[in-house]
Structure 1
Amino acid sequence: MNSQSSGLAVAAREGHSRTSIYSDTDVLIVGAGPVGLTLALLLAKRGRRVAVYERWGSAYPLPRAAAMSHETVRTFQSAGVLEQLRPLLNLSVGSRSAPCYAPDGEVLMVMSFPGIGESGYPPMAGFHQPDVDEALGDACDAEPLIELHRGWDVRAIEQDEDGAIVTFDPFEAGAKASGDSVSARAKFVVGCDGANSSVRDLMDTEVTDTGFHSTWICIDTVPLGGFSVPEPLSTYMDPTRPTLLAPTGFGRQRFEFMTIEGDDLEQIVELDSIMTLLKPWGVTAENSEIHRRAIYTFRGRWAENWRDGRVLLAGDAAHQIPPFLGQGLNSGARDAMALAWRLDFILGGSAGPDLLDSYTSERSYHVKQIIDASVFFGRMMCTTDPVAAEERNKMLRMVRENPEMAPPQPEWRLGPGCLMPDDPAAGFLAIQAQVEKDGRTGLLDDLIGPGHFVLFGNGINPLAGLSDEARRIWARLDGLGITIGADGYRDVDGSYTAWFEKLGAKIVLARPDFQVFGASAKAEDADALVKTLSECLQPELVA
């Protein structure tokens, strides 16, 4: 949708009558999973009042997501909760690899990961989601600007030019409970309520499905007495039963087995069947505790429109990503970052509501690339026809012996939106690395503070050439000018120098969600970058 609709009503599932207003905030978030809680914390960090409503009475007690990207860790750094989460994340630095095996043990392919990702943390960190969810919930409980309400299920949403009213029914034990409904008012509503999103059902949007679906048995174990599997992060491309292994934080291990024709899905999750599946990896009842056993169907699909007036989607409500590349939760965290700065600037009067249109255009394009890559790997992984599997193996052997034949590593880019037009650097992640200034050394965001537009200068003051008009815009946006090198921030390990060289840039403008707005080899282009940014934010509001 291109503009804020006047008097738009989002359809209710049934008629309703409202009681008194239960809360009145800047933003109402439906869903207290990791994406909803992260968005709440990011908004509260910016001084915005948030209400979070969750249908379930307590946090989900079993693990789901297991891999956290460096970018998501940086998001928690930005939200001010990384130190609470750090003990729960395996952030040990060191190169990692994930072998892919044929049934006879032949290594067909090895996926390698560097020691440090672009955000200054390991590319992927294992974690136990219930612990992280609990820590995020505790952080929200401790934040005066956040209200957390549990036991309420969305029934209807009505909106006008100034905001929306959401009606909730009491919910308990998986069903509507007795008692009166309540209504909550907010300037914006964000559905972070998962793949079966009630908010999405009430919006004017369609869902596009790739047609990919694959059903798997997911088993989470807690090894005992020092036991560990030989390759905790690995893929077994066995057409008789494709299998994935992944560590899920300190002292935990996940096994995922694809279901095959003839499986009885009720019987296969019985303990005896589970132990039979785990036996080839040396797992026994004596050396491991079974923490979870469940059946999941992995899908690749997305909502076409993530905005309907003042109602938006984020996380699994907006997209379902097959887990083969570990990008589901991490894409939701990117959604939260992309929304947080937009909503903050709109609520503060520094941008107009139509800035939210670029949220869909940027993020959906980005997610579609990830879904395509995940589905591609999933289809390759899920091959059960022996002839097709051998053809796949021949291809992988060829690439293994001739690495120059390997396709380039994907660089997922944002779609068109609030970015410098026709700029090859725009829409990619800006790095975060170690810097030193005035005797302090650390990651850049820790020294300058998160949540800013930043103009980087490669050995120059990037603000020096700004016109008076651009300076007024930059001051209104509370933007920062950062000189790397010269008399500014010392590039401790050369990461920023290499980044500027890769971009061919003398100046770079980065957004509060870590994405590059634009870059140029000419210092004088800083003025055009700032003025074009103001046009994206609606110039009549920032001039």
Structure 2
Amino acid sequence: MSNTSHTDADVVVVGLGPAGLLSCLLLGQKGYKVVGIDRWPTPYPLPRAVTFDHEIARILASIGINANDDPAIDYHDDRYLWLNKDGEILLEVDWESKANDGWRNRYWFDQPNLEERLRGILDSLPNVETWQGFEVDSFEQDEDGVKLSYHQVRVDGFVTVPLEGGKKGTIGAKYTIGSDGANSFIRRAVGYELVDLNFYYDWVVVDTTPAVMPTYLTKHYQICDPARPTTVVPGGPGHRRWEFMVLPGEDPQEIAKPEKVWELLAPFGMDPKVDKLDRAVAWRFQGKYLEKWNAGRAFLVGDAAHLMPPFAGEGMCAAFRDTYNLVWRLDLLLQGKADYALMDEWSEERREGAKWYIEFSVGLGRVICITDPEEAAERDAKMIAEYKANPHPVDPHDAVLGQGTWDGSDSLSGKPSIQGLVAYAGRTGLFDEAVGRGWFLLHKHGTSSGLNASQEAKFSAMGGRVLSVGERGSGADVLDIAGSYSEWFSSNKVDHVLIRPDYYIAATAASDSAVSKSFDSVLKNVIAA
């Protein structure tokens, strides 16, 4: 009996980290046949990413994971402080309040547990298969689809090797998503190379399970001590993380040895007799990105498309944004309702969006990673003066998308939309839960949609919904219970807002007559039904 087989699918996803699992899940929920393949025989059991922001909480809510009460996720309504070697505050970041979409600015999670939650949801989708322990060894594509070959592997030490007598085969699909990490096979197969920002610093990342959770000045803080810059943050429920910079002349592998790690943890009250060291690994922080993220029928997301240092806590966030932005487009493409240019727009949007966070993170790192005492003293004096002049917490930043499927001439577009408390069809809650998700054209009650008949038909064929928003008793489709939308419309002097399935604003308009023009401009690559 042959151990070689062939499988057909709508989409094949290579790499089953968080972005790959989310890709499989979103496409599977839309009814597509999906095969996800990963070279490691079992899911990676140790933490890597530990934090995400309000946008990712909103994405997770769309697949049934509530960040406010999920056992894999935690939050701490507390400030994030930067301290110098003497404990003086250099910078204060607001991780206490909520964003305007109703979710907290910052959450903390245990990655293995979160991935287990994603896999559990995937198990309920009969049209999705996930294969662990199969390595892709070739990739080709033509105008009709893609073809991948694979072989079964086993783990030998820290690498995978072919399994003697193991299964081999091919997968044919319409498209592929490369979510296969920093050493992406799919990226190399299409001939793409990352742009290097030449930012390299070695750190040792330490994950622990304390016997008793330690209490510090604040739940999360950055120590900007030139003697050894250090990050102290939560690691999800029951866990804490430390990140220690490897100093010039030090061997990263030596610093990552348990005896040295416990020595570094001692000032924080951690004791090897009672506390557990889950992981200590030398990790090179770096900044890189792709200029182009789509190559014909292949799309690259997550670490396959970009690498960023963790100082802003946005690495996995960027990967989820990549995927959530991609899937609604791929859905239209698979339905024959979009021109491929819609995917080019995805590449432009996500490159610039991720690049913004990479450069932001690199900028933070260049401030944090100072080891010269005189340079550190100059930095401290400047930042302390700025903090005393303006001690209020720094607001978190939301990156604006690169130019794409939104109105670049509109200052409100290309940013995440608000989400308020509403009532709709007998349901009350935040907009996503009460009304739903997808394309929306929201307009103030008392105005029309602004679309002509052909545009309304096109929008409906895309799954779009046109809804009026107004106060109680107004007769509007959506009742604006907390007044969030009324205030937003009024303060921004607009009557209409076009919202995409990834929650980003595509366009706004101040009058009925302006809606039609913006609609056609933004959705020029969506084909009318």
TM-score w.r.t. structure 1 length? 0.91
Query: Contact (CA 8 Å) 1:461, 1:482: kept in 2 or not?
Result: no
Query: Which one-letter code corresponds to 2:487 in the other structure?
Result: A
Query: Which one-letter code corresponds to 1:71 in the other structure?
Result: E
**Root-mean-square deviation over aligned CA pairs:** 2.2
The residue aligned with 1:498 is 487
Query: Contact (CA 8 Å) 2:93, 2:396: kept in 1 or not?
Result: no
Query: Contact (CA 8 Å) 1:54, 1:150: kept in 2 or not?
Result: yes
Shift in CA distance, 266/407, structure 1 to aligned 2, threshold 3 Å: closer
Bigger drift between 423-432 and 497-506 goes to 497-506
Question: Are 1:483 and 2:472 counterparts?
Answer: no
Count of residue pairs brought into register by the alignment = 519
Residue-by-residue CA offset, 1:242-289 (whole Å, 9 max, x unaligned): 000111212211000000123233332222211110111111124421
The residue aligned with 1:15 is none
The residue aligned with 2:84 is 102
Question: Are 1:134 and 2:116 counterparts?
Answer: yes
Residue-by-residue CA offset, 1:70-111 (whole Å, 9 max, x unaligned): 11121122234448982221256x4x2111111111112211
Query: Which one-letter code corresponds to 1:177 in the other structure?
Result: L
Corresponding residue to 1:115 among 97, 111, 122: 97
The residue aligned with 2:152 is 170
* Cα offset, 1:52, TM superposition: 0.2
Query: Contact (CA 8 Å) 1:462, 1:507: kept in 2 or not?
Result: no
Query: Which one-letter code corresponds to 1:481 in the other structure?
Result: V
The residue aligned with 1:526 is 515
Question: Are 1:398 and 2:398 counterparts?
Answer: no
Corresponding residue to 2:415 among 428, 433, 440: 428
Question: Are 1:23 and 2:12 counterparts?
Answer: no
* Cα offset, 1:294, TM superposition: 0.8
The residue aligned with 2:19 is 35
Return the alpha-carbon distance in structure 2 between the equivalents of residues 149 and 46 of structure 1.
20
Return the alpha-carbon distance in structure 2 between the equivalents of residues 409 and 63 of structure 1.
24
Shift in CA distance, 337/461, structure 1 to aligned 2, threshold 3 Å: farther
> Aligned runs of 1:92-491 on 2, under 5 Å?
94=77, 96-173=78-155, 174-178=160-164, 179=166, 181-403=168-390, 410-450=397-437, 452-460=438-446, 462-463=448-449, 465-485=450-470, 486-488=474-476, 489-491=478-480
Return the alpha-carbon distance in structure 2 between the equivalents of residues 438 and 344 of structure 1.
27
Residue 253 of structure 2: SS of its match in structure 1?
Answer: coil
Shift in CA distance, 302/85, structure 1 to aligned 2, threshold 3 Å: farther
Shift in CA distance, 114/196, structure 1 to aligned 2, threshold 3 Å: same
Query: Contact (CA 8 Å) 2:370, 2:376: kept in 1 or not?
Result: yes
* Cα offset, 1:331, TM superposition: 0.4
Shift in CA distance, 221/419, structure 1 to aligned 2, threshold 3 Å: same
Residue-by-residue CA offset, 1:210-260 (whole Å, 9 max, x unaligned): 000111111111121354444330000000100001112122110000001
* Cα offset, 1:443, TM superposition: 1.5
Residue-by-residue CA offset, 1:175-208 (whole Å, 9 max, x unaligned): 2322353110110001001111111111132210
Bigger drift between 339-348 and 432-441 goes to 432-441
Structure 2, gaps ≥5 residues long = none
Return the alpha-carbon distance in structure 2 between the equivalents of residues 459 and 393 of structure 1.
52
Residue 379 of structure 1: SS of its match in structure 2?
Answer: helix
Bigger drift between 196-205 and 501-510 goes to 501-510
Return the alpha-carbon distance in structure 2 between the equivalents of residues 83 and 392 of structure 1.
37
Return the alpha-carbon distance in structure 2 between the equivalents of residues 114 and 266 of structure 1.
36
Shift in CA distance, 200/263, structure 1 to aligned 2, threshold 3 Å: same
Identity %: 31
* Cα offset, 1:128, TM superposition: 0.4
Query: Which one-letter code corresponds to 2:39 in the other structure?
Result: R
* Cα offset, 1:122, TM superposition: 0.9
Query: Contact (CA 8 Å) 1:456, 1:462: kept in 2 or not?
Result: no
Query: Contact (CA 8 Å) 2:144, 2:174: kept in 1 or not?
Result: yes
* Cα offset, 1:377, TM superposition: 0.3
Structure 1, gaps ≥5 residues long = 1-17
Return the alpha-carbon distance in structure 1 between the equivalents of residues 362 and 446 of structure 2.
44
Shift in CA distance, 284/408, structure 1 to aligned 2, threshold 3 Å: closer
> Aligned runs of 1:57-76 on 2, under 5 Å?
57-76=41-60
Residue 266 of structure 1: SS of its match in structure 2?
Answer: helix
Query: Which one-letter code corresponds to 1:169 in the other structure?
Result: H
Shift in CA distance, 390/84, structure 1 to aligned 2, threshold 3 Å: closer
Residue-by-residue CA offset, 1:491-516 (whole Å, 9 max, x unaligned): 23333233324533210001111111
Query: Contact (CA 8 Å) 2:405, 2:523: kept in 1 or not?
Result: no
* Cα offset, 1:36, TM superposition: 0.5
Residue 517 of structure 1: SS of its match in structure 2?
Answer: strand
Residue 255 of structure 2: SS of its match in structure 1?
Answer: coil
Query: Contact (CA 8 Å) 2:498, 2:507: kept in 1 or not?
Result: yes
Residue-by-residue CA offset, 1:421-477 (whole Å, 9 max, x unaligned): 422222111122221235421111112222x210011334552x3211212112211
Residue-by-residue CA offset, 1:281-300 (whole Å, 9 max, x unaligned): 11112442111111101110
* Cα offset, 1:318, TM superposition: 0.4
Return the alpha-carbon distance in structure 1 between the equivalents of residues 392 and 95 of structure 2.
19
